[in-house]
Amino acid sequence: MEYWKKNLYTLWFVQVCGMMTITYIVSFIPLYISKFGITDVKEAAVWSGLLFSSTALVSALIGPFWGTIADRYGRKIMVERVVFSNFVISMLLPFVANIYQFLGIRIVQGFLTGITASCLALVTSFTPEDKMGFALGFFQTAIMLGASLGPLAGGFLADVFGYKYTFIIMGLSSFLAWILVHFFVEENFTPNQSTEKQSYIESFAFVFSFMPLLVMATVNFLIQYSNHVISPVVPLLIKEMGVDEQIINTVSGSIIAVYGIFSAISAVIFGILSDRMGQRKVLLIMTFCSSIILFVTFFVKTTLQLALLRALLGTFIGGMIPTSNALIASMIPEERRGATFGVTTCFSLMGNVLGPFSGGFLSLFIGLKGLFLFTAIIMFGVFLWINRMRFDFTKCEKSI
């Protein structure tokens, strides 16, 4: 087997484990924090949004720094740093005594981690240019699958073994990922003199000075924001529907998993379609259909209806991010990809930050279901913006 394929398949599994370790608490975190005396639904929604957004905020701010370090010293060591940090942090979580310690550990996790940007930089460094679309589409399935299996596994393990052992088991999955990266991923890294002195600020300046990159980074932000503004309240919405508390973690994790599984499948399908139809046209289809599904979700009444609509939404959102990442990779030279993906991922993570944080507070005023209508409007706005732009996405790489 060619070494780049072996690397890709290994990193695919590493990404799944890494995302699972980051996302497994999504299905139960609004319920888990009740052990700290936070039992009011509205207060739990606010704290859940803060706990979600704090990790993503710190990760977004520090991501370009780690990307610059990766361009200087290698991308493999950055992936090892991420998965090992996830292992240590997950092992510490069972011992937190109050909500403030929990928040502190989540902030530290944001500083030390950043699995997607690190893996993307490594994948694009060893993949042949003519295989880049396939590699990134395939790799995106790991991101989606890990993000969906994490909540599913977390909810199931929490119901069966309790929260303490859930933290430990999921932490061990990251330790397994570290072993795989350390012993099975090859990297032939030679630092480029042009990037040895590249600073944190210069990484941002490069993206802001190149309009195609800035456009795609902004689209990523809007997609992630509209996607994650709902994340903190899904378990609370399921609870309002009268689900038995003995299985509520499993039901919550399952509905979140359905979304991720369909997103993973669609990442490959829409990746192929975008090669044939053009990325801009595919983005228009996906954003328009997503806005319609979100609008319909506003009227949901049962968990079955919610699961079906989340599956449809995942189908249309799944292909958006790999399409933009493939374009970003084609726009920039290989020696700049660590820092550039750090910056563009920063935009995406800011969507992860502002989404959950604002979602918790917005639910106080427009209700839990009102968030679906709110995100439908945002996604329709993204559709209109892309439709009005007279920018040829297929020519981006020729502008550098």
- Domain with residue 99: its CATH number is 1.20.1250.20
Say if 192 falls within a structural domain.
no
In this prediction, residue 219 carries a pLDDT of: 79
CA–CA distance, 83 with 78 (Å, rounded to integer)? 9
Residue owning tokens 């240590």: 88
Encode pLDDT of 170-179 as tens digits.
889 889 999 9
Instruction: Provide the token pair at 355.
Output: 């989404």
Say if 191 falls within a structural domain.
no
Average pLDDT, the chain: 79
Say if 194 falls within a structural domain.
no
Say if 84 falls within a structural domain.
yes
Choose between 193 and 323: higher pLDDT.
323
Say if 56 falls within a structural domain.
yes
Q: Which domain holds residue 236?
A: 3-185+201-399
**One-letter amino acid of 121:** A
Q: How many domains does the chain have?
A: 1
Q: Are 114 and 66 in contact (CB under 8 A)?
A: yes
- For the cut 90, the answer to whether the pLDDT of residue 288 exceeds it is yes
> Mean pLDDT lowest for which of 72-81, 126-135, 158-167, 361-370?
126-135
In this prediction, residue 393 carries a pLDDT of: 43
Instruction: Provide the token pair at 280.
Output: 């801009």
In this prediction, residue 389 carries a pLDDT of: 64
Say if 232 falls within a structural domain.
yes
Instruction: Provide the token pair at 108.
Output: 């530290």
CA–CA distance, 109 with 90 (Å, rounded to integer)? 9
In this prediction, residue 395 carries a pLDDT of: 41
Say if 335 falls within a structural domain.
yes
- For the cut 70, the answer to whether the pLDDT of residue 391 exceeds it is no
- For the cut 90, the answer to whether the pLDDT of residue 295 exceeds it is yes
